[in-house]
Structure 1
Amino acid sequence: MVAAIADVNIMLEADELSESILSSEIFNKYIEAKQAVQNDPDAQDLLQAFQSIKTDYEEVQRFGKYHPDFKKVTKEVREKKRQIDSHPLIAEYKIAEEELEKLLNEICETIAYKVSPSVKVPSGNPFFDQSCGGCGSGGSCGCS
């Protein structure tokens, strides 16, 4: 019976946490940026063009540098990617997405370390993390 009450309390606290996240400024910025990209015809055209060239790129990658169109398709993919990255709405969306991911990673780390300081918490790509945390060792590697 005590375990059931504890389970209910944990679920209630999880619901409160999710409501806090959904009502946060970071989440609202993410949703606004996502909708702005979805509603912008120029951004959608860029993304669709990239998807099209990406299909060609995947075909070329099967054969690598030996494919006759390797250089041409690889160059086109890089150019389209650069156009996408420089589009203001898409850039804003990516920033908002990274901020939301950072918030969620921090929440995961906080919860995990409350359970035990030796819990391994994957926090995304360690090359882009501000703090270590990306090694997944819970700080036992000495990097934290």
Structure 2
Amino acid sequence: MIATLDSVMILDQAEELGFMIKDSEVAHDYHEARKKLAKNKEAQGLIKRFSELKELYDEVQRFGRYHPDFMTITVKVREAKRDMDLHDDVAAFKKAETDLESLLVEVCSLLAGEVSPSIKVPSGNPFFDNQSCGGGCGSGGSCGCG
């Protein structure tokens, strides 16, 4: 590929945009929440417990309701997840992670929309997927997105 002046300028602008996102308040909040979560021994214990139970749950799921420990493991996994999710540092990290993901999806959607309105940007977020029917409406075109 031969680099043209246009492609070099686009790469420079993309790099600048990346630095702007990296230096944003949303990214800063994410990194702070991640550091705080990593330092919290109680939260790390809850995450570890959930991960271990999740492995057992996945093993039990192979047999479904016919496994003798199906109900016991299912209840324990749900309780461990609830305990983990309700921990302040875990909740703060998840919120910061969601905020950063939303920013990145919004930027990607804006960039894709500038190139062509038919470019699909999968976000995993129904809000963004349904905005212009550019992604995951899943209605087979009945919404008019064709």
TM-score (norm 2): 0.87
- How many residues end up aligned between the 2 structures? 139
2:7 maps to what in 1? 7
One-letter code of the match for 2:53? I
One-letter code of the match for 1:10? I
- Runs of 5+ unmatched residues, structure 1: none
Q: How many Å apart are 1:3 and its aligned residue?
A: 5.9
Given that residues 120 and 136 in structure 1 are in contact (C-alpha distance below 8 angstroms), is that contact kept between their aligned partners in structure 2?
Answer: yes
Q: Distance in 1 between matches of 2:119 and 2:58?
A: 38
Given that residues 56 and 73 in structure 1 are in contact (C-alpha distance below 8 angstroms), is that contact kept between their aligned partners in structure 2?
Answer: yes
RMSD value over aligned CA atoms?
2.1
Given that residues 33 and 92 in structure 2 are in contact (C-alpha distance below 8 angstroms), is that contact kept between their aligned partners in structure 1?
Answer: yes
Answering whether residue 91 of structure 2 is matched by residue 91 of structure 1, we say: yes
Q: Distance in 1 between matches of 2:30 and 2:121?
A: 24
Q: Distance in 1 between matches of 2:72 and 2:62?
A: 15
TM-score (norm 1): 0.89
- Runs of 5+ unmatched residues, structure 2: none
2:75 maps to what in 1? 75
The structure-2 alpha-carbon separation of the partners of 1:124 and 1:131, relative to structure 1 and needing over 3 Å to count, comes to: closer
Q: What percent of counterpart residues are identical?
A: 45
Q: Distance in 1 between matches of 2:11 and 2:128?
A: 31
